[in-house]
Amino acid sequence: MSQDISNLRKFVAPEIIFGAGARHSVANYARTFGARKVLLVSDPGVEQAGWLADVANSLAAEGIEFVTFTQVSPNPRTDEVMQGAEVYQTQQCNLIVAVGGGSPMDCAKGIGIVCANGKHILDYQGIDTIHLPIPPLIFIPTTAGTSADVSQFAIISDQVDKVKISIVSKAVVPDVALIDPETTLTMDPFLSACTGVDALVHAIEAFVSTGAGPLTDMYALDGIRLIHQHLAALVLQPHDLKLREQVMLGSMKAGLAFSNAILGAVHAMSHSLGGYLDLPHGLCNAMLLEHVVDFNFHEAENRFKVVAETLGIDCRGLSSAQVKQRLIQEIISFKQQVGLSQSLAAQGVRVIDIPMLSVRALSDPCMLTNPRSSNQRDVEAVYEQAL
């Protein structure tokens, strides 16, 4: 008897160790993977904050040899990936540990791809383009937002064409994520807000994605709840470890959701925008979110109503138009609470840039699971609203 497989869903995730002090497990896991020499990938900010040395000391205490690579920009670049791959190969490493936010983690994924598969990182743009398994990855996130530590995404900036490329493959899901809220204590309020809103957008887009299902919904909704309830307080109280833990847990759950359900137009448009102007990814998402919700709402009304209810909106007796209005108002209010009310124009976007940004957004893999299909004029109109 034939069976309908249209509702089948897969769910991929790394082994996760969550909690204060999780980072100190790095040597144990490196040894489990037979580490001969570790490439330790990070960036100057994380190094200055002390987390790179902290992890390096954990490796050294167990006699595990390592070499560091910290030439990673806030939006990791193709040339940095290729430089890191050269270090990995010349130093004869066989395992990668990344310490940092989305930039070092995405760069580490790119390094692994190139070392195992041999071509330029740009050759792997798109979905399921990686054919050979990459070296073991152990990730220690120091931000609560990007979720590169649990996802099957790698986002790399092409500085020649000024665009971010998306690589989507279960091959880049880390083997182990050591998620330690203590590492986020050195984040300033603006970075906490940017990464937190990024995580909120992950959860919302995953829930309304055409790739959503029961396995992702539970993580997406709990991610929305945790971030909405705790992020504004965290921005005001950046040294509160309990708040850090709750936001990081929300980010992790949002990451598990979007890694498997994929995302939508906010991220497609944000990748285009961030690649062009080299802006913080979370800020790009924040500037676009309510405008994309407005565009998508009527293609996923029931799902957006659940999002609204999860954000604490009482939808009883409200019409669809009223639910949309209340949801958009709540998003705007929340962004104001965390200090992210910027507009595209204030960040340097011009009207003449919009056609180019729109073309690039339409080619982003995240657009494939957006609940509403879009043409170039649709995307241009959303960018224009966000100006």
Amino acid in the structure at residue 64 = I
Report the interhelical angle of 281-296 vs 376-386 (nearest 10°). 120
Compute CA 307 distance to the chain's CA centroid, rounded to the nearest angstrom: 20
Q: How far apart are CA 301 and CA 299, in angstroms?
A: 6
Average pLDDT, integer, range 345-349: 93
Q: What would the 3-class secondary structure string for 278-334 be?
A: CCCHHHHHHHHHHHHHHHHHHHCHHHHHHHHHHCCCCCCCCCHHHHHHHHHHHHHHH
CATH fold for domain 189-386: Dehydroquinate synthase-like, alpha domain (1.20.1090)
pLDDT of residue 159: 86
Q: How far apart are CA 148 and CA 146, in angstroms?
A: 5
Please state the pTM of the whole predicted model: 0.94
Tokens representing residue 297 in the block: 């709402």
Reported as a pLDDT band with limits 50, 70 and 90, residue 2 is very low
Every domain of the chain and the residues it spans: 15-184, 189-386
pLDDT of residue 169: 94
Q: What angle do CA 352, 354, 355 make, to 5 degrees?
A: 95
Instruction: Write the pLDDT tens digit of every residue in 156-190.
Output: 999 888 888 999 999 999 999 999 999 999 999 99
CATH fold for domain 15-184: Rossmann fold (3.40.50)
Instruction: Write the pLDDT tens digit of every residue in 56-67.
Output: 999 999 999 999
Reported as a pLDDT band with limits 50, 70 and 90, residue 324 is very high
Q: Which residue has the tokens 């009883």?
A: 316
Q: How far apart are CA 7 and CA 10, in angstroms?
A: 10
Reported as a pLDDT band with limits 50, 70 and 90, residue 6 is low
Minimal CA–CA distance to 193: which of 280, 254, 257, 256? 280
